[in-house]
C-alpha cells in the first residue's frame, strides 16, 4: 500500500520545489480538555492550519517575489492523491537563507480549515 512520500507546494499558482520533509498540520475544530475537580470534559475550539516547507533560493529568483504579508491560495499536493487548498493562507515568518546548502529557506504558512480533494 502506498503512503505519502512527496508533498508539492503551490503558492499563489506557482509550484515550488521543496525538500523531503514538508509538513502540513490540518486545522479546524478540535477538542480542548477542560479539567474540573477529578473529571475531564471537553470544549470545542478552532485550531489554525500550519504548513512548513524548505524551498531552495534559485538563481534569478527575487526574495521579494517569494515573501510578503498578503494572503493567497496555498495548495499542498500529496503523491497519494490528496490535495488540501487554503484560500486564506499567509506566510508567518521571514525565512532564513542558508548558504552552502542550496540557499535553503524554511517557509511557514498559516490558514483556516482547508478544502480537501481526493
Domains of the chain: 7-117 (2.40.30)
Task: Say which DSSP state 63 is in.
Answer: G
Under a CB-based contact definition with an 8 Å cutoff, are residues 94 and 107 in contact?
Answer: no
Task: Say which DSSP state 93 is in.
Answer: S
pLDDT digits (tens, 9 = 90+) for 65-91: 788 899 999 999 999 999 999 999 999
Phi, psi of 21 (to 5 degrees): 110, 5
Q: What is the mean pLDDT of residues 9-26?
A: 92
**Cross-strand partners of 91:** 109
> What 3-state class would DSSP assign to 65?
helix
pLDDT digits (tens, 9 = 90+) for 30-64: 999 999 999 999 999 999 999 999 998 888 888 88
- Look at the chain and count its residues: 118
Amino acid at each position: 500500500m502506498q503512503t505519502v512520500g512527496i508533498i508539492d507546494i503551490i503558492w499563489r499558482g506557482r509550484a515550488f520545489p521543496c525538500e523531503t520533509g514538508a509538513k502540513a498540520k490540518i486545522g479546524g475544530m478540535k477538542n480542548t480538555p477542560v479539567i474540573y475537580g477529578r473529571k475531564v470534559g471537553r470544549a470545542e475550539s478552532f485550531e489554525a492550519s500550519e504548513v512548513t516547507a524548505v524551498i531552495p533560493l534559485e538563481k534569478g529568483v527575487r526574495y521579494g517575489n517569494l515573501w510578503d504579508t498578503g494572503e493567497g491560495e496555498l495548495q499542498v499536493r500529496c503523491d497519494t492523491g490528496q490535495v488540501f487548498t487554503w484560500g486564506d493562507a499567509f506566510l508567518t515568518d521571514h525565512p532564513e537563507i542558508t548558504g552552502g546548502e542550496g540557499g535553503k529557506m524554511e517557509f511557514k504558512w498559516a490558514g483556516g480549515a482547508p478544502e480537501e480533494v481526493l
